[in-house]
Structure 1
Amino acid sequence: MTDLQILHEHTYTILKEGEVSTGTTILALPFDGGVVVCADSRTSTGSYVANRVSDKLVQLSEYIYCCRSGSAADTQALTDYVHYFLNQWSLDTGRQPTVKTAAHLMRRLIYNNKDQLQAGVIVAGWDPVDGGSVYTITLGGSCLELPFATGGSGSIFIAGLLDSEFRPNMSKDEARSLAKKACAHAMTRDGSSGGVIRTVAITSEGVDRDYTGGNELPFGPSAVW
């Protein structure tokens, strides 16, 4: 039996019948005056890449974004609900919601439906109360505010890198550069992460989107082998 056949045998015996294996790389890094959110673009179903260029960075309100990981259908439904509720809240109060409000609304939806959902997300953004802040909501519905956050199957490959290189009060360019570097490393090592890198920098002045194509990654297979 060849190495490839062993790999396929191993892959299909781990998954139950009808079970779908998912994977991604998402992260959020605060900087002086805001937050950068970052994600790859691969949506996978087991060994099959269903979408090479999916957008996993969803705008919940003007200054708040959500990074999606887990089941694409579940996270798309959740972000639609939270976007609707936050928009309704802003119309009723005449104010912009805080990142904490958005995170705890997401937490409540995930926790109350944890038996039916497969969704682990990062909610990050800027508000006049806390400035730039980052919250991670786990599969079970726990909500934690963190100095920075990572998620998805690729996150285990870059934990040490971010622990070593992240520092508080970086500039926007430094945070975006580190986010791209970390995401590119994860995409190289994790078979369920890949495609392009999307980043969004969120400050009091608004949002700034950035796109890095697969042939422009700051780190890739050529740097490894």
Structure 2
Amino acid sequence: MIADVDEPISTGTTLVAAHFKDGIVIAADSRTSSGSYVANRVADKLTKITDSIYCCRSGSAADTQCIADAVAYHLAFYEMQTGKPATVEAAANVFRNICYKYRDDMVAGIICAGYDDERGGGIYSIPPGGCLVEEKRVISAGSGSVFISGFLDALFKNNMSKEECVDLCLKAVSLAIHKDTSSGGVCRMAVITKDGVERKLFLNNELVQYEG
């Protein structure tokens, strides 16, 4: 039986971004799905935009990758013209403008996060439709977020250490993978500070195990 090309395709993911004392931690699962079909088990949903700014992508993988490439191009041109690094807020606004302009043609939810010398660590959410919300604490997005938003709110603390923040994000993504049938694979993570970006990978057997 051939599927109707106009039939909506369900997509799922889990994204987390959190502030800690010296910067930002972002994390995501790695499953890319098309309905019940798992297209990629180890996708990287954390995309580099500049040396100190990353985005977390949810929605259509093709749409979000296209948007991320466009934003990276705009910011590279901006940095070349001005001779200074782009701010996280500026990157988030470019994401917002593109997502809003093509809101009827693309399925894209973005978390833009990073570090700049003007405001330090920053997290901005651009949900489908193209609005822009700055997050001061912790945020989750994607289908797995419904299982972990309360968990994150309860355990998040201001001025956490890097280790505490990494542990919280790993526990949250692990819980979402356990509960959400559309999330799975490994946990990819990035720690962003004034010193640069540290990437981390937690394989499936390194995730926090939950029962029930």
The equivalent of 2:58 in structure 1 is 69
Computing the radius of gyration over CA atoms, which structure comes out larger, 1 or 2? 1
Deviation of the 1:215 alpha carbon: 1.2
Deviation of the 1:17 alpha carbon: 5.2
Instruction: Please state if 1:224 is matched with 2:211.
Output: yes
Q: Which moves more between the two structures, 145-154 or 185-194?
A: 145-154
Matches within 5 A, 1:52-91: 52-91=41-80
| Total equivalences in the alignment | 209
Give the whole-Å Cα distance in 2 for the aligned partners of 1:120 and 1:68: 6
Deviation of the 1:224 alpha carbon: 1.1
RMSD over aligned Cα atoms? 1.4
What is the DSSP-based 3-state SS (H/G/I as helix, E as strand, rest coil) of the residue aligned with 1:170? coil
Q: What TM-score results when the alignment is normalised by the length of structure 2?
A: 0.96
Give the whole-Å Cα distance in 1 for the aligned partners of 2:163 and 2:115: 17
Residues 61-98 of structure 1: CA deviation (Å, up to 9, x unaligned): 01100000000000000000001111111111110000
Deviation of the 1:149 alpha carbon: 1.6
Query: Which residue of 187, 195, 200 corresponds with 1:197?
Result: 187
Asked if the contact 1:30/1:132 (under 8 Å) is kept, the reply is yes
Matches within 5 A, 1:96-107: 96-107=85-96
Report % sequence identity.
Answer: 47
Asked if the contact 1:135/1:149 (under 8 Å) is kept, the reply is no
The equivalent of 1:181 in structure 2 is 171
Instruction: Please state if 1:207 is matched with 2:194.
Output: no
Give the whole-Å Cα distance in 1 for the aligned partners of 2:71 and 2:159: 29
Query: Which residue of 114, 117, 121 corresponds with 2:103?
Result: 114
Instruction: Give the counterpart letter for 1:168 in structure 2.
Output: N
What is the DSSP-based 3-state SS (H/G/I as helix, E as strand, rest coil) of the residue aligned with 2:188? strand
Deviation of the 1:167 alpha carbon: 1.3
Residues 23-42 of structure 1: CA deviation (Å, up to 9, x unaligned): 00001001111100100000
Give the whole-Å Cα distance in 1 for the aligned partners of 2:157 and 2:129: 29
The equivalent of 2:121 in structure 1 is 132
Give the whole-Å Cα distance in 2 for the aligned partners of 1:146 and 1:102: 15
Change (3 A) 1:89 1:17: closer
Could you list the runs of 5+ residues in structure 1 that have no partner in the other structure? 1-11
Deviation of the 1:216 alpha carbon: 1.2
Instruction: Give the counterpart letter for 1:132 in structure 2.
Output: G
Deviation of the 1:18 alpha carbon: 3.0
Asked if the contact 2:139/2:149 (under 8 Å) is kept, the reply is no
The equivalent of 1:7 in structure 2 is none
Deviation of the 1:16 alpha carbon: 8.8
Q: What TM-score results when the alignment is normalised by the length of structure 1?
A: 0.90
The equivalent of 1:9 in structure 2 is none
Q: Which structure: greater helix fraction?
A: 1
Instruction: Please state if 1:27 is matched with 2:10.
Output: no
